[in-house]
Amino acid sequence: MRKYILYLFGINLLFILLLVWMGFERSRDFKSYHLAIAKESTASAAHSIESFITEKKRLVALFADENRELIHTHALNSSNEIILQQLNHRIAKHFPDYFTFAVADERGEPLVTDFEGYVGDLCKQDLKSFVKEGIQAPRIHPNNTAYHFDIIAPLVYSNSKLILFISFHADVLGQVLKSAQTPGHQLMLIDHEASHLIEVTSDGARINWQRDDYRMSDDEKDRILFTKDVNGTVWKAIDLSVPELFETFYFSLLWPSLLQLALIIILSVAMLLFVRREERLRLIAEANKENFLAVISHDLRTPITAINGSLDLIRNGHTGEISDTTKEYVEIAINNSHRLINLINDLLDLQKFESGHMTYEIKNELLTPLVENSIKANQSYLEMFTTRCRLQVGDDNLWVHVDDSRFDQAFSNLLSNAIKYGAKDDEIIISIDRVNKYARVSITDHGEGIPESRHEQVFQRYAQFGDAKSKHVSSTGLGLSIVKNIIEQQGGKVGFKSEEGKGSTFYIDLPVIKI
């Protein structure tokens, strides 16, 4: 029972390992797939925003160049509301999505005071940086009215150096991100140098995303799948998974796996209960068989032996003269008692083989004398069937390690089969030869042989082939199975060759030893 438990445990363990491996592979494929998506969408978003900013810079610079006279006039008359409105009207016509604008001098100081507060401190800082470094890197400027970003364009008119900057709503960048974003992912623009400050999401400027702190949390940083710089800005485009993306996938993997595992455990328990039941029935059957064999051994063999002895006395005239008819019936009774004794002995031998209790007295024996003694012991049986026996010795100095009594039992079984199933008045050929490292004893008859279709069944229990020459002689079908067990348990082999209608050759191979 223990080996079945270990077997089922091993199956369950292998199944669990298989589920884990399959889950790992599917998880790896799932993550690789989404990493590829993140890489593609981030690159697409970064490129689109970079192109968008570049185009805005080009258009603002072109507008500044085309309207430099008006801008210069405004610079000279910064308090003139009419000129200011004309400039505002032209900007609105070219840039419908703009938020505000301003004109600054060559030092970066706005020419008109912004009383509404549209031009904040960050705008002024960017102007100063542009004047100083000549580089503009747009970033999001928070404002009570609208979060925006600035595009700056320098211009020169009548030896005057001026700066035009136009602010645009940051939400337009959110539209770009939204078009590149895929389900299960979040695209953002962040200012990496400002402690991962979130600038824009697919919802627009960060102000549209209600939260207390707009710097990325540790959890969000852990969920980043890919990052791409947006050239010409302070931004990095990042793609991070939504919180439930991988958790949902792992959960979808876990439940089916648990259900499969539960099913295999249920089947294993059911199988274990079934095996336990069958094992219990087997033990009961074994006990019944042991009891049956004990009855055969002690309660049947002894009286049958006594009956056989009594019948033998009657046949030999020790109880007085008997008629020929009575003698014939006594012979039949004696033959059948012998048959019963042989059957009992065969059954007991098989039980010993199965239980491993068959004992052997192994000795070094010269093979030829063993065979000659067995032939002499079966001489009366040969005469009963008017059968002759011829021994051919190819090598008479073959020593084997064998139990002589068990060898005699095996050899006699093969010889008796050859006698019973050989041809009428047959001459059985017994040969002793060396075949490689084995000493081979072959017994050849010239009977009807064994059909090829039944060769695989020859050494099975209760297998019988052909008809014996005498109807008074029958077989239990256990002899060849016993022969096989006896010889193989002494390190040898048993085999045969048979052709239907031409007879059979059975042989015993035993390892040759050097003396």
- CB within 8 Å of 245: residues ≥ 6 apart: 34, 184, 185
Indicate if the pLDDT at residue 228 is higher than 60. Answer: yes
Q: What is the dihedral of CA 374, 375, 378, 379, to 10 degrees?
A: -150
d(CA 118, CA 124): 11
pLDDT recorded at residue 327: 79
pLDDT recorded at residue 268: 82
Q: Please state the φ and ψ torsions of residue 323, each to the nearest 5 degrees.
A: -75, 165
pLDDT recorded at residue 317: 78
Q: What are the CA-CA distances from residue 37 to residues 24, 30, 40, 182 (Å)?
A: 20, 11, 5, 8
Cβ atoms of 119 and 100 closer than 8 Å: yes
Longest CA pairwise span in the chain (Å): 165
Between 84-98, 300-314, 501-515, the lowest mean confidence (pLDDT) is in: 300-314
DSSP structural state of residue 463: -
3-state SS record for 378-402? CHHHHHHCCCEEEEEECCCCCEEEE
Task: For tokens 């102000």, name the residue.
Answer: 207
Indicate if the pLDDT at residue 132 is higher than 80. Answer: yes
Task: For tokens 């209600």, name the residue.
Answer: 210
pLDDT recorded at residue 476: 59
Q: Please state the φ and ψ torsions of residue 434, each to the nearest 5 degrees.
A: -100, 130
pLDDT recorded at residue 438: 92
Q: With CA atoms as reference, report the closest residue to 108 among 64, 74, 167, 154.
A: 154
- Determine the average pLDDT of the residues in 113-139: 81
- CB within 8 Å of 274: residues ≥ 6 apart: none
Q: Please state the φ and ψ torsions of residue 454, each to the nearest 5 degrees.
A: -115, 15
DSSP 138-172: ---B--SS--EEEEEEEEEETTEEEEEEEEEETHH
pLDDT recorded at residue 302: 73
**What confidence tens digit (pLDDT) does each residue in 406-417 have?**
898 889 889 988
Output the six-digit token pair for 144: 């009570």
- Assign 362 to helix, strand or coil: coil
% of the chain surpassing 70 pLDDT: 89
Residue with the bigger pLDDT between 282 and 170: it is 170
**What confidence tens digit (pLDDT) does each residue in 443-496 have?**
999 988 888 888 887 877 655 655 554 434 455 567 788 888 889 888 999 999
- CB within 8 Å of 317: residues ≥ 6 apart: none
Averaged confidence pLDDT in the chain: 85
Cβ atoms of 35 and 226 closer than 8 Å: yes
- Determine the average pLDDT of the residues in 392-401: 91
**What confidence tens digit (pLDDT) does each residue in 283-313 have?**
887 777 667 666 666 666 677 778 878 887 8
Residue type, 216: M
Cβ atoms of 173 and 200 closer than 8 Å: yes
Region class of 493: left (phi > 0), else alpha (psi between -120 and 50), else beta: beta
Tell me the whole-structure pTM to 2 decimals. 0.55
- Determine the average pLDDT of the residues in 153-159: 88
The 10 Å Cβ neighbour count of residue 383 is 11
Band of residue 115 on the pLDDT scale cut at 50, 70, 90 = low
Fold that domain 359-513 belongs to in CATH: Heat Shock Protein 90 (3.30.565)
- The radius of gyration of the chain's CA atoms, rounded to the nearest angstrom, is 53
First to last CA, the chain: 46
Q: With CA atoms as reference, report the closest residue to 491 among 505, 512, 515.
A: 512
pLDDT recorded at residue 470: 47
Residue with the bigger pLDDT between 323 and 466: it is 323
pLDDT recorded at residue 369: 93
d(CA 478, CA 205): 94
Cβ atoms of 245 and 37 closer than 8 Å: no
Q: What angle do CA 333, 336, 339 make, to 5 degrees?
A: 155
Indicate if the pLDDT at residue 504 is higher than 50. Answer: yes
Top mean-pLDDT range of 40-49, 104-113, 478-487: 40-49
Indicate if the pLDDT at residue 334 is higher than 60. Answer: yes
- Determine the average pLDDT of the residues in 18-47: 92
Residue with the bigger pLDDT between 130 and 293: it is 130
Cβ atoms of 412 and 371 closer than 8 Å: no
Indicate if the pLDDT at residue 23 is higher than 90. Answer: no
Region class of 159: left (phi > 0), else alpha (psi between -120 and 50), else beta: left
Considering only the top CATH level, what class is 2-172?
A: alpha beta
Domains of the chain by residue range: 2-172, 246-349, 359-513
Cβ atoms of 106 and 129 closer than 8 Å: no
pLDDT recorded at residue 346: 65
